[in-house]
């Protein structure tokens, strides 16, 4: 089984020094693509270019996206990094567990979809909604009283651990099917939420929180694309029945 290509995603990075340093780290660890979600700074700022060193070309070709969902739409598996204490009930995994999962999967030679590692803003990381778009969330073994690392330092630690795991023997027998793509699951849950609001199961002021619990359940179950399609088909059929039978 071939190893997947990895992309690094930075959400709303604000510091050009950090962005340039991450581009250099991508070159250090043979990551071939950097994606920036609504960057607050100019990725081509002279300070970013100076820090990129041999990652300058990767910095210049970094892909800009308007949302995290867009940035990971083509990715087979997505892992986010979280350094916040107020992450709610979202399960956090050790780096070796989350990144080990990222590297496994039943990927054949014709499947060239990458995997993604996502990092949040320098000042507040990723929101809980953004963390929920990722199938696994890792936390580094930093101090409980001050867990948040500098952005480029966190990227360095994660990419080093990822590179270390890639040198270990592969265990094909442990591979499991890839989870449903984030965009597909998002669209399914939007359809379900609309229907459940219409029939009165959800209330507008609590709908988001309750649907987050549904998303968490499906993420824990590692729901697959075919299963999401089945649920969405059920929701759409119920919507059709509800609409056609109304007087």
Q: Residue 77: give its domain's CATH number.
A: 3.40.1280.10
Q: Judge if 26 and 59 occupy the same domain.
A: yes
Q: Are residues 58 and 82 in the same domain?
A: yes
Clarify whether residues 160 and 197 are in a common domain. Answer: no
- Do both 115 and 221 map to the same domain? no
Residues 43 and 155 in one domain: yes
Q: CA end-to-end span of the chain, whole Å? A: 57
Split into its structural domains, the chain has a count of: 2
pLDDT value at position 21?
A: 98
Contacts of 21 (CB under 8 A, 6+ apart): 51, 52, 152, 155
Residues 219 and 150 both lie in one domain: no
The pLDDT of residue 85? 72
Distances (CA, A) of 214 to 26, 60, 182, 245: 35, 40, 14, 28
CATH code, domain with 193 = 1.10.8
- With DSSP H G I counted as helix, E B as strand and the rest as coil, what are the percentages for the chain, rounded to 5? 45, 10, 40
Do both 75 and 105 map to the same domain? Answer: yes
* Whether 54 and 138 share a structural domain: yes
Check residue 46 and give its pLDDT: 97
pLDDT of residue 115: 95
Of the three residues 174, 204, 221, the one that is the final residue of a domain is 174
Tell me what pLDDT residue 147 has.
84
Pick from 138, 157, 174: which residue ends a domain? 174
Q: Which domain holds residue 217?
A: 182-244
Residue 219 Cα distances to 73, 94, 181, angstroms? 16, 17, 11
pLDDT, tens digit only, all 247 positions of the chain: 467 899 999 999 999 999 999 999 999 999 999 999 999 999 999 999 999 999 999 999 999 999 999 999 999 999 999 987 777 789 999 999 999 999 986 555 567 899 999 999 999 999 999 999 999 999 999 888 888 899 999 999 999 999 999 888 765 545 678 999 999 999 999 999 999 999 999 999 999 999 999 999 999 999 999 999 999 999 999 999 988 876 6
Q: Are residues 123 and 228 in the same domain?
A: no
Domain contains 198: yes
Looking at the fold, whether 126 and 154 belong to one and the same domain comes out as yes
In a domain, 168, yes or no: yes
Same domain, 114 and 220: no
The answer for residues whose C-beta is within 8 angstroms of residue 118's C-beta and 6 or more apart is: 9, 11, 68, 71, 72, 78, 79, 80, 81, 126, 130, 134
Centre a 10 Å sphere on the Cβ of residue 141 and count the other Cβ atoms it contains.
Answer: 9
Separation of alpha carbons 161 and 41, rounded Å = 28
221 with 144, same domain? no
Which pLDDT does position 146 carry in this prediction? Answer: 87
């Amino acid at each position: 089984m071939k190893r997947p290509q990895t992309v690094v995603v930075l959400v709303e990075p604000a510091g050009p020094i950090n962005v340039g340093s991450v581009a250099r780290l991508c070159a250090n660890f043979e990551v071939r693509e950097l994606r920036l979600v609504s960057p607050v700074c100019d990725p081509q700022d002279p300070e970013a270019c100076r820090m990129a060193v041999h990652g300058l070309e990767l910095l210049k070709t970094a892909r800009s996206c308007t949302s995290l969902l867009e940035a990971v739409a083509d990715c087979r598996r997505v892992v986010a990094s979280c350094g916040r204490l107020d992450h709610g009930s979202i399960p956090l995994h050790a780096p070796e567990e989350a990144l080990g999962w990222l590297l496994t999967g039943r990927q054949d030679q014709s499947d060239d979809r990458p995997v993604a590692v996502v990092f949040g803003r320098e000042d507040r990381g990723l929101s809980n909604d953004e963390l929920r778009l990722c199938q696994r969330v890792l936390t580094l073994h930093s101090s409980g009283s001050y867990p948040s690392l500098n952005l480029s330092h966190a990227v360095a630690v994660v990419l080093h651990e990822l590179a270390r795991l890639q040198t270990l023997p592969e265990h094909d027998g442990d591979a499991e099917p890839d989870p449903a793509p984030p965009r597909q699951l998002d669209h399914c849950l939007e359809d379900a939420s609309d229907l459940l609001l219409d029939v009165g199961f959800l209330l507008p002021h609590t709908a988001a929180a309750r649907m987050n619990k549904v998303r968490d359940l499906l993420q824990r179950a590692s729901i697959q694309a075919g299963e999401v399609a089945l649920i969405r088909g059920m929701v759409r059929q119920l919507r059709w029945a509800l609409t056609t039978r109304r007087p």
